Chains A and B, each alone.
Chain A
Amino acid sequence: MASEVARHLLCQSHLATNTAYMSSPVSDNEQKQKKGNTRSLTMSGHVGFESLPDQLVNRSIQQGFCFNILCVGESGIGKSTLIDTLFNTNFEDHESSHFYPHVRLKAQTYDLQESDVRLKLTIVNTVGFGDQINKEESYQPIVDYIDAQFEAYLQEELKIQRSLFNYHDSRIHVCLYFISPTGHSLKTLDLLTMKSLDSKVNIIPVIAKADAISKTELQKFKIKLMSELVSNGVQIYQFPTDDETIAKINASMNGQLPFAVVGSMDEVKVGNKMVKARQYPWGVVQVENENHCDFVKLREMLICTNMEDLRDQTHTRHYELYRRCRLEEMGFADTGPESKPRSLQETYEAKRHEFYGERQRKEEEMKQVFVQRVKEKEAVLKEAERELQAKFEHLKRVHQEEKMKLEEKRRLLEEEIIAFSKKKATSEIYQNQPYAAPGGNPRRDKDRKNSNFM
């Protein structure tokens, strides 16, 4: 519980500045001020809900935090090194090649823990950014990636059975844009990229490898960069100045953008301490020395002071914008025709009707096509049937004719047979007649008769 107490005390100091001008909650008289429908009451004793912020903090500790950083910059500009230095860890990563044909985004998630705060940190790197000869499509994959994370969240939000509190939020909370330390001005690619990202993500531009620029050049460079951003209408992230506790520091930091940073995980002995630094023959550039570079300022602003605001802005501004555009694309609107307010359900209902109508129509169409086909097939079959019938008739006729012919032949043949038999009978009678005198030779007649039959 010691950390609890410590944190409570730390917060109290913040609160002290906040509540200095507020009246004491313990008072004898009741004061009622009408604030619309709600009245302000003063309590007559200690109730105990001042522990509410602590209850909230406890819940957040249990849940853990999620933070997603997108690093945009050319290969070799020092993105991975800076992230390592910011979080004081050696994240595993390999040096990228310079020869990728397209820009790819590579995301890695790590679990960090500091006292009882658990942070799920996702670093998204642009691999191959600015390496191609044709730089036109360099920033589109980045925009697509950011949109994809928004879309995933939106899909989860719109599910019927959803679990948002379980959802691993992958939406990008901040984009660190690495500017080359040329000392001159922004490159066109930088301008175009930042312009296409500024309405989708919080952009914090940083000047990378700042040990390559001298102090005087750096000042001029910063001024030039900021004026170019402003004149091109690029909206970078402004540290919030509405809360008194951090307004002053944030405002002053806003004036020192872009931060000129140096990253290094190598340690060099300076004095009697080992510090993170880059060693040159002519001297040592110390990362955490505010005279040498703005690294400490970046870490302060990014992590210690404004991490929650970055997450908040991402959700309430950038994501809301994406959501609105997307839902309007899908055909939803808050006001229907005649500008009357229309609920989401009404839109669903209208869409459902439309969908059913469409489906009905398609069904009808298909039915028609089907009926048509059936008719055609029927016709074809009928035709075939008719042909067969005709053939059958024809064959039958032919057969009939044949039969008749054969019948005729048979009749003729039979007539011939009868004629022949008659002739034969007649001829036999003629043969027997000359032998009618007495004494005739009956035997010879008989023999003759018989031999006729042999």
Chain B
Amino acid sequence: MDPLRRSPSPCSPQASSPESPPCEMLGYVGIEAVLDQLKIKAMKMGFEFNIMVVGQSGLGKSTMVNTLFKSKMWKSTPPGLGGPTPQTLQLHSVTHVIEENGVKLKLTVTDTPGFGDQINNDKCLRPLDIEFLQRLCRTVNVVPVIARADSLTIEEREAFRRRIQHNLKTHSIEVYPQKCFDEDVNDRILNSRIRDRIPFAVVGADREHMVNGRCVLGRKTKWGIIEVENMAHCEFPLLRDLLIRSHLQDLKDITHNVHYENYRVIRLNQSHVLPRGPGWVNLAPAPPCQPSSPGLTKVCRWAQDNSDEDS
């Protein structure tokens, strides 16, 4: 059986109810007007999106976020002028509401200053990165990005990308878009193309320059201006399109339907092994047959859904 078809995506309906007869309508009824009703409701409520950027400071994370959302989310710290790297990992969030054509988006960006090693230009993923990515991929959608790509030539970029892809594959790290959530052929084709280009090599810039009479976002260097939104220069547009223009809703859906549900199952079953926080209460201990590693739960989950369906 085609492994890609086996597991249902969180966004597609299942035939969990008995087969209902399809009916032919003899004329227009107006059912499709429900889509507009949905849109109106969505516009009224607004959208939310939470993004976390991970990597050592100095890689251009703040600039990248600013470039993505074309606004000063963060004051980007110039290199060298930041304080000493904090010893412990601190999370730092900021929330903004941005609006475009009537669509309101409440965006929360979380930064992680003080995170360990970087994805260095001439090395592969280090053991720390690998361990971190493995754990992270089980709880959240991860999009790896090659930062500061302006110091790599196109060939170096490709080589580095292949190395990283190989590393990810060897250690079974499933980054977004995850293969197991492809619903149909179209999705698979589209997502395969994306998966081929991950990690995107990006450059961030929040200054505008004049190039050939056009005003573009870019980084000015002695040997030229790197245009951020020029596909020939860097892959920033790909990242932006993936994150914002085409897959934002999908990211949210997977987080809600898969990652949160997995967490919930673990939390309700094995709360006695999780670290205690305020208001923590020990729930009933887990029965002996439950799987213990969270990573397996995600995969098992879909198998279980299928078996629920069959039973």
A292 at the interface (CB under 8 A from B): no
Q: Is the interface of B mostly helix, strand, loop or mixed?
A: mixed
Whether A165 lies near B37 (C-beta < 8 A) is no
Q: In the complex, A280 Cα to B191 Cα: how many Å? A: 61
Whether B13 lies near A87 (C-beta < 8 A) is no
Whether B308 lies near A163 (C-beta < 8 A) is yes
Stretch at the interface among B51-59, B63-71, B79-87, B112-120: B63-71
- Closest chain A residue to B34, Cβ basis: A307
Whether A52 lies near B36 (C-beta < 8 A) is no
The A-B contact count (CB < 8 A) is 242
Q: How far is the CB of B283 from chain A (nearest CB, A)?
A: 6
Whether A43 lies near B98 (C-beta < 8 A) is yes
Whether B98 lies near A61 (C-beta < 8 A) is no
B1 at the interface (CB under 8 A from A): no
A343's contact among B20, B23, B31, B281, by CB below 8 Å, is which? B281
A317 at the interface (CB under 8 A from B): no
A245's contact among B12, B17, B35, B40, by CB below 8 Å, is which? B40
A162-B261, A303-B29, A307-B37 known; A15 vs B281 contact (CB < 8 Å) = no
Interface residues in A, total, Cβ within 8 A? 84
Q: How far is the CB of A257 from chain B (nearest CB, A)?
A: 19
Q: List 28 A-B contacts (CB under 8 A).
A: A11-B39, A18-B43, A25-B101, A38-B95, A38-B97, A43-B71, A43-B98, A46-B70, A46-B100, A49-B105, A50-B102, A58-B249, A59-B249, A59-B250, A87-B23, A89-B24, A91-B23, A111-B23, A114-B32, A116-B32, A120-B17, A160-B264, A165-B10, A166-B305, A243-B44, A343-B279, A345-B281, A349-B283
Q: How far is the CB of A429 from chain B (nearest CB, A)?
A: 109
Whether B101 lies near A52 (C-beta < 8 A) is no
A119-B31, A166-B305 known; A49 vs B245 contact (CB < 8 Å) = yes
A35-B97, A63-B13, A299-B29 known; A56 vs B265 contact (CB < 8 Å) = no
B210 at the interface (CB under 8 A from A): no
Whether B265 lies near A15 (C-beta < 8 A) is no
Interface residues of A in 29-45 (CB under 8 A from B): 30, 35, 37-45
A243-B44, A345-B281 known; A25 vs B100 contact (CB < 8 Å) = yes
A309 at the interface (CB under 8 A from B): yes
**Contact residues in A for B264 (Cβ distance below 8 Å):** 160
B253 at the interface (CB under 8 A from A): yes
**Contact residues in A for B10 (Cβ distance below 8 Å):** 165
Interface residues in B, total, Cβ within 8 A? 81
Whether A161 lies near B265 (C-beta < 8 A) is yes
Given pairs A46-B100, A89-B24, 6 additional interface contacts (CB within 8 A): A53-B103, A55-B249, A88-B26, A307-B31, A343-B281, A352-B284
Would you list the 6 A-B pairs with minimal beta carbon distance, nearest first? A168-B17, A55-B249, A308-B37, A304-B30, A345-B281, A304-B33
Q: How far is the CB of A80 from chain B (nearest CB, A)?
A: 14
Whether B102 lies near A18 (C-beta < 8 A) is yes
Whether B245 lies near A110 (C-beta < 8 A) is no
A62-B183, A111-B22, A165-B11 known; A49 vs B246 contact (CB < 8 Å) = no
- Closest chain A residue to B300, Cβ basis: A161
Q: How far is the CB of B295 from chain A (nearest CB, A)?
A: 16
Whether A52 lies near B37 (C-beta < 8 A) is no
**Contact residues in B for A35 (Cβ distance below 8 Å):** 97
A113 at the interface (CB under 8 A from B): yes
A47's contact among B36, B244, B261, by CB below 8 Å, is which? B244
**Contact residues in B for A25 (Cβ distance below 8 Å):** 99-101
**Contact residues in A for B220 (Cβ distance below 8 Å):** none
Interface residues of B in 179-196 (CB under 8 A from A): 183
Q: How far is the CB of B142 from chain A (nearest CB, A)?
A: 20
Q: How far is the CB of A380 from chain B (nearest CB, A)?
A: 43
B172 at the interface (CB under 8 A from A): no
**Contact residues in A for B21 (Cβ distance below 8 Å):** 92, 110-111
Cβ contacts B230-273/A at 8 Å (1 or 0 each): 00000000001100111111100100010001001100110100
B253's contact among A59, A86, A306, by CB below 8 Å, is which? A59
B244's contact among A48, A87, A349, by CB below 8 Å, is which? A48
